[in-house]
Amino acid sequence: MNRILQLLILTLVAGLGGTAAAGGADGPFPGERGATLDTACRLDIWDKRGGGLLAKLVKVPRDQVVGFALYTHDHGVLKMSAQLFPLQEGEAREARLELNIDGQWREAARSPVIYPGWSAHFRLEPWDSTRDVPYRVRHGNAAVFEGLIRKDPVDKDVIVVGSLSCNSNADRGDRDTIVENLKKQDPDLLFFAGDQSYDHKQHTAAWLLWGRQFREIIKDRPVVTIPDDHDVGHGNLWGEGGIVAESPAGDTGGYFYPAEYVRMVERCQTWHLPDPADPRPVAQGITTYFTRLRVGGVDFAILEDRKFKTGPNGTIPRMGPRPDHIQEAGYDPKKIDLPGLELLGDRQMAFLAEWGEDWTGAVIKAALSQTAFCGAVHLHGSKQNRLLADLDCNGWPQAGRNKALAALRRVRACHLCGDQHLAAVVKHGIDRFRDGPYGFTSPAIINSYYARWWSPADEQAGANPIPGSPLPWTGDYLDGLYNPITMIAYANPAFDSMPEMRKSQRDPKAILGDGYGLIRFNKRTGETTFECWPRYADVSQGDIAQYPGWPVTFQVEENDGRQVAGHLPELVFENAVDPVVQTIEEATGEVLYTLRIQGDRFRPHVYAPGKYSVKAGPHRPGAWSMQHVEPAGPGAAPLQVRF
């Protein structure tokens, strides 16, 4: 039976549900695969005793059933999700949102509590983003969760983002040190890049545990949470447009567990994000959430780099012990970079194109997603397990990777992600080394589950190593997928194996490579700074407490490293300050860049001789345009622009 027919049959079976195994018929998820999902938070838990930590965690006093809340607001729309603990029979299936306006608490909205998942969702518009507003979510007469909806910090020069990922269940305890450090650093936005849960079949309970661990920092600032593979029950995930996976390995593409489970996870983790840019569901009715969020003048594209990606099993030649691992030294990368393989997919690429043109409310742009656009890892799980390439990363397929990075480069956007369990800063290359944007992979919150190391086999620095770096292996390298990358900084664990790391996971002096990232966007100077903090860092010590190699600072224009070959005549804007300028190569129709400039004068740069179209406008190009513009010398007459 060919693969396409197998996938069609599996998709039909999953869509129909069929008869269920024990527990499935009465449970919220269909079929044998759904029978054991989310059992710690089902309706019948009140009839059961005992159980593990998660089963006990969810049975809370009734005045504590509102676990936590998450929110974002963007251009006049507030969206909030409230996460409740499981409710008992007879308890109201409704939550209430109250706001403190001018010292008076007023009810703003009510929402049903949705089962499975026990979440409630509020949407308010128009929303006034110019002032702080205290909020509280209530259930019944006694349960309350309180926080603060922050105003949009457009008046701040520096916007700070906390970047976290990989909240392993190898440590079920608190995250107090990270939370207290983040309180001191006071980020304007928190980004959780995925794997908030490692309990593949128990998302709701694990999600509640995550909320308990971080509730004191997530309650009073906007938060982006996006699910990754472990959140939906996979070790690795190639979503392939939402089809049904053949096995838990998922390497044939698709989701192994029922779509109802996937939709529940995405509802709990992403409903509070701004509305999806393209809300059409994929196969099995699985939702999409890729979107944009603007905070303080920084415009974030929030991507789904798993949902549309092609699975490797059956689509490319096998070159290792697993379909997603390559061990064949000297292989031809063209053998795995084949036509028809998807990474972000056409819909997200169209979104990035539109996002790149629209600079409304934006001074700087950046992208957020689950994993890195390269394979910046050599050793996996132990120092004895060296892989040439891991197809779980966004370095494959290479053509899709290059298209995505080119879209970010056009707007000088850096990329923030998690997933890899190894903190790293790279400067991507597309056609050559260093011509693409910067990428920052945050460390794992808990790194005693499955650590990784950057360790070139020859133990040599790459070409053009970073001057003055305390790290031995920086510079230009080809990753295992033959993608050009420049390693700027990395945070290897000082251990050789996972058992050793687990023994030391609560030792503040142990160098485990765990912790979180912090990003500072300076809108006034154009400077971006990446910081990398160990889990038990004393942030009062300053930069010396960061991992060696950090902080990393660069100018936003360095996210485009193409070599400038010439300049068009200067644009002089008669009635505009800080407009948006776009330059298009007429021979190819390629948009070279779309940027918000500073001031009222700009000399467009180009990368080759030829004729170019130039467009400009207050927030997106198009209010003014000129065609057939050619590079000119420094004495060329300026072009007067008025719109």
Residue 604 CA to residue 312 CA, distance in Å, equals 42
Domain ranges (residues) in the chain: 62-149, 159-193+289-368+370-559, 566-641
For the cut 90, the answer to whether the pLDDT of residue 342 exceeds it is yes
10 Å CB burial of residue 403 (0-12, 13-18, 19+) is middle
Was domain 159-193+289-368+370-559 assigned CATH 3.40.50? no
Q: pLDDT-derived band of residue 11, with 50, 70 and 90 as boundaries?
A: very low
CA–CA gap between residue 144 and residue 389 (Å, rounded): 49
| 294-306 per-position pLDDT tens digit | 999 999 999 999 9
For 43, phi then psi, to 5°, come to -65, -25
Same fold, 159-193+289-368+370-559 and 566-641: no
- Specify whether domain 62-149 bears CATH 3.90.1150.10: no
Report the DSSP beta bridge partners of residue 143: 139
- SS3 call for 470: coil
Instruction: Please give the helix or strand (H or E) that residue 270 lies within, else none.
Output: helix 259-270
The model's pLDDT over 393-437, given as tens digits with 9 standing for 90+, comes to 999 999 999 999 999 999 999 999 999 999 999 999 999 999 999
**pLDDT digit string (tens) for 225-276?**
999 999 999 999 999 999 999 999 999 999 999 999 999 999 999 999 999 9
Fold classification of 566-641 is Immunoglobulin-like (2.60.40)
Q: Examine the pLDDT at 10 and tell me if it is beyond 50.
A: no
The reported pLDDT for the residue numbered 19 is 29
Contact status, residue 439 vs residue 361, Cβ threshold 8 Å: no
- Cα–Cα distance for residue pair 616/304, rounded to 1 Å: 30
Q: Tell me, what's the pLDDT at 20?
A: 26
DSSP state of 92: -
Q: How far apart are CA 324 and CA 568, in angstroms?
A: 46
The reported pLDDT for the residue numbered 49 is 85
Task: Give the Cα-Cα-Cα angle 520, 522, 523 (nearest 5 degrees).
Answer: 135
Query: Three-state secondary structure along 15-64?
Result: HHCCCCCCCCCCCCCCHHHHCCCCHHHCHHHHHCCCCCHHHHHCCCCHHH
| pLDDT band for position 6 (cuts 50, 70, 90) | very low
